[in-house]
Amino acid sequence: MANNWFPHDSSASTDQKILQIRSEFGNVGYAWFLITLEWLWQLEETRSDFKDIDSLSFYLHEDRSIIERFINRCIEIELFIKDSKNRFYSFRLCEEKKVFIEKSKNAKRAVEAREAKRRLIDESSKLDSGIERSSNDISNDHPLPNLTLPKDHIIVDGVDDSPSSENRVERVILGFEKITGTKVIARNEKRKSSIKRALKTFTDGQIISAWESMKKDPWLNRQNPGRKLYLTIDYALRIENIEKYIPHQLK
């Protein structure tokens, strides 16, 4: 873990336990302690097996027997702790490592959240730009296609059940997904029936145009006080809402 760090008390050299180490091993014992902490910090679990004393001795450039005696003395005065797996560690260092890891995770999550928000804004801008271009194309001289019901349009029990109905339903769903940038996951019979019911009253083009108008309504487009997106497929399929938002030249 390059470029990482952990806190070091400014008065550590005069700590009672450190003074014991310094009195027995000299100031070099204090240096060994700090270097050992750095060694432990770099380990995944912040703990070192006694089998690694050889590696630690090489790291400290000292004889193995001296370092083994030094580590055991640190354990005796509780600078280090020995666990049930014959490993030694510093309790405080382990706690600092947990704090460090949590801060790193939070920082990573913050970066990911900012990036996701940036992508959402970019996608929303592109979508709004496309809708604006589409809206500018609506005029009496250039009417939208498919504004009249197809010749095979048949009403059965108040629901559009014409042969081309399924294609029209799918076309309307795809239109909603393109306008809102959201995915309509549940294509169940209840939702399809709602779409067919809307198709009984309006043409495909009228429904799509109404949804384009809804998308430009600030209240429905994540700009309301609660920051909620009310433009859901169920809201958009309500007959009264479609009627309200259809551009006047298409009524």
State the Cα–Cα distance between residues 144 and 165, nearest whole angstrom. Answer: 20
Average the pLDDT over 59-84 and give the result: 93
Q: What is the pLDDT of residue 142?
A: 40
For the cut 70, the answer to whether the pLDDT of residue 16 exceeds it is yes
Q: What is the pLDDT of residue 143?
A: 44
Question: What are the tens digits of pLDDT across the range 18-58?
Answer: 999 999 999 999 999 999 999 898 888 889 988 888 989 99
How is the chain split into domains, by residue range?
A: 12-98, 137-250
For the cut 80, the answer to whether the pLDDT of residue 166 exceeds it is no
Q: What is the pLDDT of residue 232?
A: 79
Which contiguous run of DSSP H or E holds residue 155? strand 155-156
For the cut 70, the answer to whether the pLDDT of residue 229 exceeds it is no
- Listed range (20-29, 157-166, 214-223) with the worst mean pLDDT: 157-166
Percent of the chain whose pLDDT exceeds 70 = 73
Distances (CA, A) of 158 to 3, 96, 208, 236, 246: 70, 69, 21, 19, 22
Distances (CA, A) of 168 to 30, 76, 152, 172, 173: 80, 80, 12, 6, 9
List the structure tokens of 168: 């029209």
Whether the pTM exceeds 0.85: the reply is no
- Listed range (63-72, 128-137, 193-202) with the worst mean pLDDT: 128-137
- Listed range (1-10, 31-40, 123-132, 136-145) with the worst mean pLDDT: 136-145
Tell the CATH topology of 12-98: Arc Repressor Mutant, subunit A (1.10.10)
State the Cα–Cα distance between residues 145 and 205, nearest whole angstrom. Answer: 7
The mean predicted confidence, pLDDT, of the chain is 77
